[in-house]
Structure 1
């Protein structure tokens, strides 16, 4: 999609919040703001206005009027930019839980924001259909804030990415962090830029034809900077905890509304094109998830493409039937990771026996676990039948923030696999499967730079996080030795963040570190596969259906080859596309050739390694290979080569 023109009508957007600080008048000399605060555990609340240096403003604290069910309300003649906090029961000062901005961080005052001040240039943008999506997950802070990400947009659009997915921006303590320790869900993190600078990034992405999705955390609050337990104890479910803290009580309408409005706020005021809901299995309330999806669908403008994506360990296929667009498919990642690395500890135990058979089920039916007992869930059943779902209901990935950053040293897959040919074959499957592909930042350059877990906690909490993380790995064979565990990077050390941050400029932009041959090869490989996807798959995916997958060879790891990849692990999968044509992918991640009963019908549209089709035409699938065929009329610009030939035959613009 070409960039949008800049002559669309200028628009201003605001989502009217039923709580927090909502401007109700901005006429010169007559600014007015309504404040609404839920504090059922308090008897009295005041608004205290502050100056930028942290001192109290000249005006006296404003008493809020108690209303029904624990609500407090007030009106004040204050303008955009005003700083305020709530004083609860005459003592503790706390930020607004629905603060639109915290210029001094989560421990500072909240700021009144005029959401309609930003002028959107691409107001005609309606998003893109989900089947056109190629996701690119990134960390805004690691790329230099909103301005740094904006600099990357042209290169991402040129690569073939159609959507960027931002790790959480909801305000968390400290300048750096992954964002999952959110404490103020409505305030974009100040260290990355202002609210208007975030909107400028989204507007610019839309101008390049890129969707923007946001990762949101609705399952817990972080351990530092959250005061809800002091003034709103019913927000939490008594006696129940998640792995990250006290569970939230989604049976309460105030809690449900707080997060439903948060979703609409990001989608309508910031014009995000979708949300990825983190770890919804920890919410443990499918009814509220359905309510949230219905709420969103009913209150975004007609005609907009808005996508809701789940991370859900429970593999609840029923949520994907009508309410949610797709789910991150951990099963796909785990099967491929086991075959590429030979790892079998932790959750990889559940995929260690016959990963190629599980991958065949993933390609043919969606989930690998559809109700079978899982060894990492104490033998309990996991998942629901998913074969009836569209392949686009699943987001496939080889790397993401979790699968890299939750490792002790943040190792990239290329470092772990140590087999570029096998990794290319798996990457071709990722980019050309009818499931929706997700890339992690810098993956397209074959990056080996780690992405480590980083925070900016202080004092006892910093010590607890550092030692707790090292304790986590004690059960793994490589870390039984205490000296080895001491080498795990300290999340709070600024060097951990710096080691995880790519150069602010992309390699295409940098004159100091231009693309070398290796990185150029990887980039062209991704670009060529995504060109095939854009031209041959995207237009035919809306109603595509899997026709099943067959295992061609399933030999376990035997120490042969490089010691990681299996001797033979091959399959063939087929899909019927919208126009009735048959699309076929054959994959072999082993280090021996595999017999094909007969070569699939149609034209080869992509192959790795080069000239793999010379063997497949004769009934042989080469080692470390991925080949894709399409029946019917294939345009003459279809590509059927890998990166090592792309530079001699660039795709047409």
Structure 2
């Protein structure tokens, strides 16, 4: 079954042959279409149209045709809506006819939100080959583990050979180093054959600096009044913002329709400024919901401000299914490591109490914004439906934004790191694993970007300023060069670790935990009683949490985040006649009144009423 998305931007093959090329360039005086990958190029003048549009129809063009735009007789540049740029962002764009790909997943409608178990990966680092095809070959292992949704870090084309992907400049073109658009389609199709959804991280808060020529001919893409951490903000609410908004709305629709992507994660929406009557984040959600009716297509956010008004436990227009819960990660990280620099400083006062709140209420600092890295006064809001929060012990930001890219297993005892993973997997919140976490990977995940010239020097200087303290505490250990290919290579997973006895044992525990989640937690998600969950401290390192359901059942977790056994007085409130859900380092013959070190157990049953 063909899958394509029609949009006003870019190159659109006509059903009867030929291609229509359209460019929004309101500041251009003249526009020409340059056909061919290298000189001599065939140049055709484009026809101006209302509202800043330029059009060129070419009867003998078709799939694979190479082209660029030449504005005001300047250098030829890639189409900002290019579907393919196989020679990089400075090379020629290629015409793509998505209808030529033979999908065989007609019966695939995705999976409901309560079944979501996310696995975040970087395509370039997931396998030695760093390609869509190589990643697709490892998908059966993830399906067998209990993963239900693979989340790709951004794949939109960016400058250079390697990078995290958050500096994309051609939002519709998959990064050429990972493979062709059809290779990405084949990845998605293979995932669907295995019952896996595919989520994609998309960046709508800025463009990258390398290969971005929009300011030359479409300066209205950028706000005249708002700013972002990366410079001028995207213009979502100023004059001439209509087509800017449409560019990003169509980008979201393009991924979910033309590539049959099952979910989008919108990066850093707190950095998107839109004071208009309908925020662009809501407009995108409404458009996606309308265009994918009948499919399970999910929308998640990263929102440092912890705004909850964009979330809803059921799919509704304008709302998103969930938000990454940084609070859960940060307080868990502080409880395990004692770190207090930067945003971790917000969580150093009684971190176990804050972890209890994250487990029962979702967010810890609801509605709070950051200034100079620290939270400001909070605006109290009710507890959130826990399914609308994505909990994790690790992710690309929290590992990669460290000076040396250490995973949690490199910072704390292996028993502590595994327990943190299990805690993220076995709460009623939506869980996420960071690639390699399932087998206790020891490889770092560093920040890397293939910048050159002034950009490279600016990145190097910025990291020296940000992480000079880390170099000092590491005995003068040199800071990895973010722009070095060696740094990128060091971040690739070492799959021999997965096959080691320790790796297999670690993976087996994670697999058992996900099986327990599927059996006990997944079916009861819609029965959770928001605002009725409770937790209490137990000694210096213990936590007892009760999650309540509308049928009188309670899921109870007893957790000891300490390296020594914990003496406990009395059973406390919890389930009676409980069914065991999962236990880790908690033998059946553990004496009453003792919680073992680095241990947790989950039980479900009717609640004791005192």
Separation (CA, whole Å) in 2 of partners of 1:429 and 1:613: 22
For the 8 Å contact 1:350–1:376, the answer to whether it is kept is no
Give the 3 Å change call, closer, same or farther, for CA 483–327 of structure 1 in structure 2. Answer: same
- Conservation of the 8 A alpha-carbon contact between 2:162 and 2:449: yes
Query: Once the 2 structures are TM-superposed, how far is the Cα of residue 375 of structure 1 from its aligned partner?
Result: 7.9
Cα deviation, residue 458, structure 1: 1.5
Structure 1 residue 431: Cα displacement: 1.2
Which residue in the other structure is 1:449 paired with? 443
Instruction: Specify whether residues 613 and 129 from structure 1 end up closer, same or farther in structure 2 by C-alpha distance, changes over 3 A only.
Output: farther
Matches within 5 A, 1:114-193: 114-142=97-125, 143=127, 144-193=130-179
Counterpart residue number, 1:535 = 519
Pair 1:331-2:327 in alignment = yes
Query: Residue 75 of structure 1 is aligned with which of 57, 81, 92?
Result: 57
Of 493, 501, 506, the match for 1:517: 501
Q: 2:207 aligns with which of 221, 225, 246?
A: 221
1:456, CA displacement in angstroms?
A: 1.1
Q: Give the Cα–Cα distance (whole angstroms) in 2 for the partners of residues 232 and 409 of structure 1.
A: 39
Name which of 245, 248, 257 aligns with 2:246.
257
Shift of 1:374: 6.4
* Deviation per residue, 1:397-430 (Å, 9 max, x gap): 011111111101110101111x222333322211
Distance 1:344 1:46 in 2: 56
Partner of 1:8: none
Equivalent residue number for residue 415 of structure 1: 410
Please state how far the C-alpha of 1:291 moved relative to its aligned partner. Answer: 1.4
- Distance in 1 of aligned mates of 2:492 and 2:523: 36
Task: State the TM-score, normalized to the length of structure 1.
Answer: 0.86
Equivalent pairs, count:
587
* Segment of structure 1 superposing worse, 373-382 or 442-451: 373-382
| Distance apart, 1:481 and its partner CA | 8.2
Which one of 297, 302, 309 corresponds to residue 300 of structure 2?
Answer: 309
Distance in 1 between residues matched to 2:379 and 2:178, nearest whole Å? 38
2:602: which partner in 1?
A: 628
Q: Report the Cα offset of residue 373 of structure 1.
A: 7.9
- State the SS of the aligned residue for 1:381: coil
Is residue 2:433 matched to residue 1:439? Answer: yes
Which is worse superposed, 573-582 or 282-291? 573-582
- C-alpha separation in 1, matches of 2:375 and 2:123: 39
**Per-residue CA distance 1:125-181 (angstroms, 9 max, x = gap):** 000001101100001111221111111111101111111000000000111111011
| Partner residue, 1:98 | 81
CA contact (8 A) 1:314 1:383 kept: no
Structure 2 unaligned spans of 5+ = none
The structural deviation recorded for 1:76 is 1.1
Q: Partner of 2:91: helix, strand, or coil?
A: coil
Q: CA deviation at 1:535?
A: 1.4
Q: Which residue of 1 aligns with 2:13?
A: 23
- Find the aligned partners of 1:473 and 1:441 in 2 and give their Cα distance: 25
Q: Provide the residue aligned with 2:579 in structure 1.
A: 603
Greater Cα shift, 525-534 or 377-386: 377-386
In structure 2, the residue corresponding to 1:87 is in which secondary structure?
strand
C-alpha spacing 1:465/1:625, structure 2 compared with 1 (3 Å) = same
In the alignment, what sits opposite 1:404?
A: 399
8 Å CA contact 1:612, 1:621 repeated in 2: no
Question: Equivalent residue for 1:573?
Answer: 545
**Structure-2 separation of matches of 1:56 and 1:458:** 28
- Which of residues 536, 546, 562 in structure 2 aligns to 1:590? 562
Distance 1:376 1:585, change over 3 A: farther
Gap change, CA 1:550 and 1:524, over 3 Å in 2: same
The question of 1:551 aligning with 2:536 is answered yes
Q: Is the 8 A contact 1:164 1:212 kept in 2?
A: yes
Q: CA deviation at 1:526?
A: 0.2
Q: Is the 8 A contact 1:314 1:382 kept in 2?
A: no
Aligned counterparts of 2:258 and 2:446: Cα–Cα separation in 1: 32
State how far apart, in whole Å, the 2-side matches of 1:154 and 1:309 are: 25
Are positions 1:271 and 2:260 aligned together? yes
Mapped pair 1:390 → 2:385: yes
Give, in angstroms, the shift of residue 570 of structure 1: 2.1
Q: Does structure 1 conserve the Cα–Cα contact (< 8 Å) formed by 2:111 and 2:197?
A: yes
- Map of 1:465 onto structure 2: 459
Give the superposition deviation at 1:50. 1.2
> How far apart are the structure 2 equivalents of 1:577 and 1:76?
62
Deviation at 1:594, TM superposition (A): 4.4
Shift of 1:610: 3.3
Deviations 1:215-274 (A, max 9, x none): 000000111110001111111012533112321011111111110100000000000000
Counterpart contact for 1:540–1:579, Cα < 8 Å: no
SS of 1:484's equivalent in the other structure is coil
Counterpart-to-counterpart distance in 2, 1:192 and 1:495: 18
Which residue is equivalent to 1:565? none
Q: How far 1:348 sits from its partner (Å)?
A: 0.2
Match of 1:648 in 2: none
Distance 1:201 1:133, change over 3 A: same
Q: Which residue of 2 aligns with 1:430?
A: 424
- 8 Å contact kept, 1:122–1:203: yes
Correspondence for 1:343: 339
Match of 1:109 in 2: 92
CA contact (8 A) 2:305 2:369 kept: no
Give 2:28's match in structure 1, choosing from 23, 42, 45: 42
CA change 1:160–1:329 in 2 (3 A) is same
CA distances 1:180-227 after superposition (whole Å, capped 9, x unpaired)? 111010001011111111100000000000000000000001111100
Cα distance in 2 for residues equivalent to 1:607 and 1:137 = 26
Cα deviation 1:268-308 (Å, max 9, x = unaligned)? 000000000100000033722111111111111x3200100
Cα 1:608–1:93, aligned 2, differ >3 Å: closer, same or farther?
A: same
CA distance in 1, matches of 2:567, 2:543: 9
RMSD (Å), alpha carbons: 2.1
Structure 1 gaps of 5+ residues are 1-10, 508-512, 555-567, 634-653
Alignment match, 1:489: 480
Q: Secondary structure at the match of 2:54?
A: strand
